[in-house]
Amino acid sequence: MQPRVGHINFLNCQPLTYSLLKCGYHRGISLVMGVPSVLNKAMEQGQLHVSPMSSFAFGQMSSSLMMLPNLGIVADGIVQSIILVSKRPIDALDGKKILLTAQSATSHCLLKIIMRKAYKCIPQYEVRPLDPQCILNEDETADLFIGDDALYINHNRQERMYYYDLGNEWKKMTGLPMVYAVWAATRAFAEAFPEALREVYSRLRGGFDHGNAFKKEAADMVVGKKKFSRQQLMDYFDVIKYDVHEKQLTALNTFYTLAHEYEFLETIPAVTIADIG
């Protein structure tokens, strides 16, 4: 059996993409590419065995999942790829309409926590597909972008607009890094196929380590194909980290605690970390 493994097709996973697609780390697994929301849904429906998951989605489904150790998408402060662009300052958005990208769940919850806790604001939220070429194009006051779209917005700022990096906002509010995504396995797969899980984990952890050692080559895969310079890509690769240790787990629990406090999560998730051996 080839394990079905999700993969985020964003630049925040480009070092792993390089290892998987160019260096043979995909062998023995069946890759399914997608944006976080699609992969989250596939895990919920049992269509994948292992996948990166938005931290919020993992929290919602944690009872049926196991987190893979020391593997996530993390930034300690500025993240560049979760950007709120607004016609007004962030502290003047109470009651205003904010359009949320349809691509992710963690960013939605993160923004709502920041607005409530740091700015005492409760805007109106609406989830909709967003086009980075046509920002603030309707009756909304702000748009929330993630991933490559947010990177584009961040590097192509328009005059008379306000830009807020949610990683930086979270850091200012909590003093902690932010864990945007984790890698998870279904409990059923982890318990029935421990050897297969170990092999998948080896490919993923090893793939990130290998890709981080060859960041220039990872950038070569996308230079000219995406609207970013080599230096912009290299700077971004330096911002995103993939290690999840005690400090990052504390940050993740802080996120879950605040999400529960503001009733975005019914309970504070109990995180079970898979024993890879």
Q: Give 223's strand partners.
A: 226
Q: If DSSP codes are grouped into helix, strand and coil, which group holds residue 126?
A: strand
Does an H or E element contain 92, and which?
none
Asked whether 135 and 158 are in contact (CB, 8 A), the reply is: yes
Whole-prediction pTM value? 0.95
Lowest mean per-residue pLDDT among 7-11, 182-186, 212-216, 241-245: 7-11
Count of alpha carbons within 13 angstroms of residue 141, beta-carbon side: 14
Please write the tens of the pLDDT for every residue from 252-271: 999 999 999 999 999 999 89
Instruction: Name the token pair of 237.
Output: 């690769």
Which helix (H) or strand (E) segment is 232 a member of? helix 230-239
Task: Check residue 106 and give its pLDDT.
Answer: 92
Separation of alpha carbons 168 and 157, rounded Å: 17
The order of strands in the sheet holding 97-100 is 124-127, 97-100, 142-146, 82-86, 162-165
Distance of CA 124 to the CA centre of its chain: 23
> CB-hemisphere CA count at 13 Å for 95?
0
Give the pLDDT score at 226.
87
Kindly list the domain boundaries of the chain, sorted by start residue.
4-75+178-261, 82-174
Residue for token pair 């802080």:
254
Which of these CATH numbers, 3.40.50.2300, 3.40.190.10, 3.40.50.620, 1.20.1250.20, describes 4-75+178-261? 3.40.190.10
The dihedral region occupied by 141, where left means phi > 0, alpha psi between -120 and 50, and beta the remainder, is alpha
137-159 pLDDT per residue, tens:
889 999 999 999 999 999 999 99
- The rounded distance, in Å, linking the Cα atoms of 210 and 221 is 15
Tell me, what's the pLDDT at 35? Answer: 87
As a CATH number, domain 82-174 is 3.40.190.10
Same fold yes or no, 4-75+178-261 and 82-174? yes
Q: Check: CB of residue 240 under 8 Å from CB of residue 74.
A: yes
Check if the beta carbon of residue 241 is closer than 8 Å to that of residue 209: no
**Where does the pLDDT of residue 161 fall: very low under 50, low under 70, confident under 90, or very high at 90 and above?**
very high
Count other Cβ atoms within 10 Å, centred on residue 74. 26
**Chain centroid offset of residue 44 CA:** 17
Q: Mean pLDDT, to the nearest integer, of 27-47? A: 93
CB hemisphere CA count around 4 (13 angstroms):
12
SS3 content of the chain, % helix, strand, coil (to 5): 45, 20, 35
| pLDDT, mean over the chain | 95
Confidence of residue 37 (pLDDT cuts 50, 70, 90): confident
